[in-house]
Amino acid sequence: MKMLIRQLVAGLAATLAALVPASAVHAAVADASAADATLDGRPADAFVFKSGWNPHAGRHGNTSGFDTAFAPYGSGAWTLLDKYDHRAGFLNLGQLQFTFSESTTTAGLWSVTNTSATTAITLDLAFAIHAGSPGAAWLFDDATLLPGQTFDGSWQVRWTNRAGDPPDFSTLALFGRDTVLTPVPEPGVWGMLGVGLGVLFLRRREEED
């Protein structure tokens, strides 16, 4: 009889466990933080983690996972800058162009380059990764790249899946807002300006003499 009761209890426990929806067992943020993504040698200014969110989804990406968390840092609407996955890579059609690499399935390097030769760019830059079920985003507030400048960065997935392990990287999306473009004269222009000012200075000295 005792053996039968034990079997019944074990069977009931297994049945109840099978009835628990998968959504009730969540991935965990674990040790993930703003320091897990860097750009130009500094960690992100803000970080957000959200289970069940894919920032890569949709034609224009999905910012719902960080809209509220990053709101204190700016006011403009987010615009998708580029996307990356193993199949398609980046399009790199805009002024900012990106690279992305994996040293392992959960960590690697990335970079952003201002391809303009005459215009500096300042913007809020959101770097958003999907790995496992969750997504995470890192904000680089008021990042400024001068003409032709490249910033190198790193990334790491440190949240955990249901098994307690960091999930493999899946996709990446990059977003920008509050973009300010500032024309910067080319070096030759500065040189001509300097020569012109020098001539004006000499003429003034001659007039005074």
The closest of 186, 192, 155, 194 to 173, measured between CA atoms, is 155
| Domain spans of the chain, in order of start | 27-208
Q: Average pLDDT of 32-57? A: 98
Which residues does residue 121 pair with via DSSP β-bridges, in sequence order?
145, 181
- Mean pLDDT, the chain, rounded, equals 84
pLDDT of residue 54: 98
Q: Amino acid identity, residue 187? A: P
Q: What is the pLDDT of residue 185?
A: 84
Tens digits of residue pLDDT in 65-76: 999 999 999 999
The pLDDT tens digits of the residues spanning 156-166 come to 999 999 999 99
Distance CA 78, CA 61 (A): 10
Instruction: Determine the pLDDT at residue 117.
Output: 97
Q: What is the pTM of this model?
A: 0.78
Assess whether pLDDT exceeds 60 at residue 202.
Answer: no
- Please write the tens of the pLDDT for every residue from 47-67: 999 999 999 999 999 999 999
CA angle 46, 52, 56 (to 5 degrees): 70
